[in-house]
């Protein structure tokens, strides 16, 4: 049963990052603008994150196995839409559908684990494997995408989903138990709309404010998202059977765990996105070569996730979360302090450090979230965990990607507009112009990208360090994921 759940999870996690190395090939084929490029990458995570609260509640009421299997079917159909895209907007629509399918799958996996593994220690190990697959999937996405893109083109990054979809549906029908809870009230559809609108508006607002030169509309959307989420929370407090029991956030360890997952995935999502572009455009590696060079992050994340359950039996949650997020801070600090032009040796150390920190932090935090709720609320715990996970990836690309883009553009002042828009634009212009002029444009773009990477790393250090201190302050001393406070 765990293998079936993890196989589907691997697909959903891979799709969060698989296009990172496919982006140059995709840009050449579909010619999307800089903003469209960001939307292609992060709309998947934003849609998925916006729907998770609703899909978690649907699973609790109508059956987690049913939701899981329908989610895989939607994911497969969406893969076909994306793979056959002839325009940028069809591809974005396919990514939206992939996000909807992923939102049906992800909370189902964690809530089914909560109900299948009733022993706390077994559950911690199962969640460790779950987190390892989720993290490794995000980290090997660039590798798998690179090999497929190089051999078959960017659409292969979507076609690869279909065989796994077919096998997983067949195995899930046979192996998985149906788990749903009786006694729930009817689904609060108005609350569901509020949660989706609030989360997507908040993420959209942060994305556009972060990109620089925000408009009044950008601020209005951001503030509107916060107000809608506040209205959602107030509505849930008045319901006997809420979509999301916001009182769970009164538990300081629960809140700290959600923050830890958000921050860990924000870090690895942004790092893999920017470093994949750095490997291809600045160092000229092919997609598969670039993907191979991101593999240390996947292996380190796998090791960290599998090590976390062992640590949880011996050390308090507070120390483990500090250790994990501290590793993320250290990784960005190494990148910030590395001499320019940055070499791959430094980047490999960064990837290993980020991967270890992420693996430890995410596994520990997921165990805290799942252990903090009764079995009948497992879908809610899964929704909070996965919302943090997917919003982290999406906001990492949007926020830190936008910071990087703004710094890059400032370094490219005086260069042609196409080159100043993105490193991809500089590369295309250099190829078109050729000669010494083309080489000069590409050299300027590469230097600007490298400098912007350093600045973005310093910003990342500050953000993650502040949240790490907050997480440590929130977790009670001596708290253990399998048994509360000792």
What would the mean pLDDT of 353-371 be, rounded to a whole number?
A: 87
What distance in Å separates the CA atoms of residue 350 and residue 343, rounded to the nearest whole number? 11
Q: Does position 433 have pLDDT exceeding 50, yes or no?
A: yes
480 — phi, psi (to 5°)? -120, 140
Superfamily (CATH H level) for 2-188+239-485: MFS general substrate transporter like domains (1.20.1250.20)
Query: What is the predicted pLDDT for the residue at 90?
Result: 92
Strands (E), 199-295: none
H-helix or E-strand spanning residue 484: strand 484-485
pLDDT in the model for residue 484: 45
Q: Which residue has the higher pLDDT, 384 or 213?
A: 384
Give the integer Cα–Cα distance in Å for 152 and 133. Answer: 25
Give the integer Cα–Cα distance in Å for 247 and 374.
Answer: 13
| C-alpha separations of 230 from 23, 236, 237, 328 in Å | 37, 10, 11, 31
Q: What would the pLDDT profile of 376-413 be if each residue is shown by its tens digit? A: 666 677 778 777 877 787 778 778 888 888 888 888 88
**Span between the terminal Cα atoms of the chain, in Å:** 32
In the chain, count of helices (H) and strands (E)?
20, 2
Q: Any idea what DSSP says for residue 119?
A: S
Rg from Cα positions in the chain: 21
Confidence tier at 483 by pLDDT (50, 70, 90): very low
Q: How far apart are CA 307 and CA 215, in angstroms?
A: 46
Q: Show Cβ contacts of residue 396 under 8 Å, excluding neighbours closer than 6 positions.
A: 265, 266, 267, 268, 269, 270, 271, 273
> Which three-class secondary structure state does DSSP give residue 248?
helix
| pLDDT top residue among 100 and 376 | 100
Per-residue pLDDT tens over the stretch 127-158: 888 877 877 777 677 778 778 887 888 888 88
**pLDDT bracket for residue 485 (50, 70, 90):** very low
Average pLDDT score over the chain: 84
Q: Say if residue 361's pLDDT is above 60.
A: yes
DSSP-derived letter for residue 250 is G
Q: Residue 413, class by beta-carbon neighbours within 10 Å (0-12 exposed, 13-18 middle, 19+ buried)? A: exposed
Token pair of 451 as six digits? 């400098």
Token digits for 414? Answer: 């005086």
* Range in 237-246, 254-263, 380-389 with the lowest mean pLDDT: 380-389
Q: Is the pLDDT of residue 46 over 80?
A: no
Please say if the pLDDT value at position 486 is more than 60: no
Neighbours of 424 (CB within 10 A): 22
Q: In a 10 Å sphere around its CB, with 0-12 CB exposed, 13-18 middle and 19+ buried, how is residue 217 labelled?
A: exposed
Does 3 or 395 have the greater pLDDT score? 3
Mean pLDDT of 411-416: 83
Residue-wise pLDDT for 318-342, tens only, equals 889 999 999 999 999 999 999 888 8
Q: What average pLDDT score do residues 437-464 get?
A: 90
Specify the range with the lowest mean pLDDT, choosing from 101-115, 171-185, 430-444. Answer: 171-185
Of residues 21, 51, 249, 234, the one with CA closest to residue 146: 21
Give the per-residue pLDDT at 210: 62
What is the tens place of the pLDDT at every residue in 85-95? 888 889 999 99
């Amino acid at each position: 049963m765990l293998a079936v759940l993890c196989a589907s999870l691997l697909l959903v996690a891979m799709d969060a990052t698989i296009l990172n190395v496919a982006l140059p090939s995709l840009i050449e084929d579909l010619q999307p603008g800089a903003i469209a490029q960001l939307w292609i990458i992060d709309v998947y995570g934003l849609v998925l994150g916006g729907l998770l609260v609703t899909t978690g509640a649907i699973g609790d009421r109508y059956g987690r196995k049913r939701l899981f299997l329908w989610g895989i079917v939607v994911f497969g159909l969406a893969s076909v839409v994306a793979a056959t895209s002839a325009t940028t907007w069809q591809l974005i629509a396919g990514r939206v559908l992939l996000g909807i399918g992923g939102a049906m799958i992800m909370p189902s996996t964690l809530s089914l684990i909560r109900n299948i593994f009733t022993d706390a220690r077994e559950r911690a190990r199962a969640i460790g494997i779950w987190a390892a697959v989720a993290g490794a999937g995000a980290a090997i996405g660039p590798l798998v995408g690179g090999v497929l893109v190089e051999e078959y083109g960017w659409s292969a990054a979507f076609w690869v989903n279909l065989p796994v979809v077919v096998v997983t549906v067949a195995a899930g029908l046979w192996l998985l138990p149906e788990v749903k809870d009786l006694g729930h009230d009817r689904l609060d559809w108005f609350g569901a709309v509020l949660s989706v609108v609030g989360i997507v508006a908040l993420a959209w607002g942060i994305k556009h404010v972060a990109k620089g030169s925000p408009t009044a509309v950008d601020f209005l959307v951001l503030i509107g998202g916060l107000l809608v989420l506040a209205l959602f929370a107030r509505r849930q407090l008045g319901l006997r059977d809420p979509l999301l029991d916001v009182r769970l956030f009164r538990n300081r360890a629960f809140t700290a765990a959600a923050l830890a997952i958000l921050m860990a995935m924000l870090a690895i999502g942004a790092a893999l996105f920017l470093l994949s572009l750095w490997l291809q455009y600045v160092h000229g590696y092919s997609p598969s070569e670039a993907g191979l060079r991101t593999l240390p992050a996947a292996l380190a994340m796998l090791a960290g996730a599998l090590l976390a359950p062992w640590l949880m039996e011996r050390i308090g949650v507070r120390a483990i979360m500090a250790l994990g997020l501290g590793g993320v801070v250290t990784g960005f600090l190494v990148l910030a302090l590395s001499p320019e032009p940055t070499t791959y040796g430094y980047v490999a150390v960064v990837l290993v450090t980020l991967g270890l920190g992420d693996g430890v932090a995410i596994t520990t935090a997921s165990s805290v979230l799942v252990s903090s709720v009764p079995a009948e609320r497992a879908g809610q715990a899964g929704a909070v965990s996965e919302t943090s996970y997917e919003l982290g990836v999406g906001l990492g690309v949007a926020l830190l990607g936008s910071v990087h883009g703004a710094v890059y553009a400032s370094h490219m002042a005086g260069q042609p507009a196409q080159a100043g828009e993105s490193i991809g634009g500089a590369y295309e212009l250099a190829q078109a112009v050729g000669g010494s002029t083309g080489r000069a444009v590409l050299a300027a773009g590469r230097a600007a990208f490298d400098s912007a990477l350093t600045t973005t790393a310093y910003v990342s250090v500050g953000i993650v360090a502040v949240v790490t201190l907050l997480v440590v302050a929130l977790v009670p001393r001596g708290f253990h994921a399998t048994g509360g406070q000792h």
